[in-house]
Amino acid sequence: MLLLPSANRVYAEAAAALTQAELEILGRAVLGGDIGSIATATISGVPYVTFDAAGLGERSTAFLANLSAGYALFEVEGDLLRPVLLHALDHYDEDLITIQKYQGKTNEQFTRLLLNVTVLSSAFATDMLSRKLSILDPLCGRGTTLNQALMYGFDATGVDLDSRDFEAYAAFIKTWLKRKRVKHHCEYDGPVRRDGKVVARRLRISMAASRDAYKSGASQLLDVINADTTMAADFVRASTVDALVTDAPYGVRHGSRTTAKGLARKPLDLLAGAVPVWATLLRPGGAVGIAWNTLVARREDIASVVADAGLRPFDDPPYQAFRHRVDQGIVRDILVARKPELGDDGL
């Protein structure tokens, strides 16, 4: 696997190790464990991630095509590399992901990695290529995760407290849809009132990658709510989300406001109040993936909050391999957990 070039030098240095962990999770989740001997190698001066596979059929390559840092796949034949045809899930042009530029934007490759690993850790991993999954980012910012979910053909719901981020994303997506001539319909765009008071703002858009898909009813839903994440259950029905994917606050951005403490930006303070709410929104078998800055919160503390909400964290080797440096003040990691299914005594 030739890795995708990255303008972010620091992330590029970590990409090979992150891809190996992602590949291991993918292999055992949807490929029956047929992938082994995952490693790195330099071929003619170019770095690759290598692995053994007992034959790659169309289904296997369809999953491999969506690896977050995958650029091209080759089969080794003696001293030669034979290209393997890949068809990614992408439903729209890549500028849906790349065109937005702003301070604090999460690396697009990492966003894809986080979404992939979370979906692959759910009970719905094998549905990734065939079903319109429901994805929630309860700290969505300016929508990088939402856009990646849309690229995959999924429904995407986002909640964020920052009104400027909500306005910026709403302006971007409405302009992008019109400029790209994507068939869509704005179902709602305005304030949400309860008991005569404005409690949130909401943007709901149905869209489809083609006119035929839209006419046939195979449209996707984008639903973005400007509200506190602890109010997510007021806007998202319980047990309807397949995967919840989010960046916890790095100690700089995002937060949740409480009467007692004001705006909480510390990840543990935020997660302690929010995760129990988020857990009610997941389907049984659904998964949550949380990225956070390890310099401001310990892994075991995040895991404890998640477990207290009734979710089961994954803690075996590939899930321990996502820690990487972002900059001087951020060392990022991922914690993934699943909501037990009825009668599920273990993962």
pLDDT in tens, 139-179: 999 999 999 999 999 999 999 999 999 999 999 999 999 99
Query: Does residue 252 surpass a pLDDT of 50?
Result: no
The residue ranges of every structural domain in the chain are: 2-84, 95-338
Provide the pLDDT confidence category of residue 134 given band limits of 50, 70 and 90.
Answer: very high
pLDDT value of position 55: 76
Helix axis angle, 9-30 to 108-120, nearest 10°: 20
Q: At what angle do helices 144-151 and 108-120 cross, to 10 degrees?
A: 60
The encoded tokens of residue 204 equal 């709901």
- Whole-number Å distance between alpha carbons of 209 and 219: 8
| Mean pLDDT across 40-66 | 91
**What are the start-end ranges of the H helices in the chain?**
9-30, 58-64, 95-98, 108-120, 144-151, 163-179, 211-215, 267-281, 299-308
> In the prediction, which pLDDT does 231 show?
96
The helix or strand, by DSSP H or E, that contains position 331, with its residue range, turns out to be strand 330-338
Cα separation, 201 vs 193, whole angstroms: 9
Q: Is the pLDDT of residue 253 over 50?
A: no
> Of 319, 212, 217, 304, which Cα lies nearest the Cα of 267?
304
Q: Is the pLDDT of residue 2 over 60?
A: yes
Mean pLDDT confidence for 186-208: 96
What pTM does this model have? 0.93
Supply 205's token pair.
């858009």
- At residue 323, the pLDDT reads 96
pLDDT category of residue 8 using cuts at 50, 70 and 90: confident
User: pLDDT (tens digit, 9 = 90+) per residue, 56-100?
Assistant: 889 999 999 999 999 999 999 988 999 999 999 999 999 999 998
Instruction: Specify the pLDDT at position 265.
Output: 56
CA–CA distance, 170 with 10 (Å, rounded to integer) = 30
Kindly give the pairing relationship between strand 134-137 and strand 155-160. parallel
Torsions phi, psi for 123 (to 5 deg): -75, 0
Rounded average pLDDT over 194-205: 95
The whole-angstrom separation of Cα 199 and Cα 176 is: 27
Is the pLDDT reported for residue 308 higher than 60? Answer: yes
Q: How confident is the model at residue 217 (pLDDT cuts 50, 70, 90)?
A: confident
Strand partners, 205: 186, 222
Long-range contacts of 179-182 (CB under 8 A, 24+ apart): 180/92, 180/93, 182/92, 182/207, 182/208, 182/209
**What pLDDT, on a 0 to 100 scale, did the predictor assign at position 345?**
56
Q: Please check whether residue 275 is in contact with residue 305, taking contact to mean a CB–CB distance below 8 angstroms.
A: yes
Q: Model confidence over 227-246: pLDDT tens digits? A: 999 999 999 999 999 999 99
Fold of 95-338: Rossmann fold (3.40.50)
- Alpha-carbon distance of 70 to 178, in angstroms, equals 30
How big is the chain, counted in residues?
Answer: 347
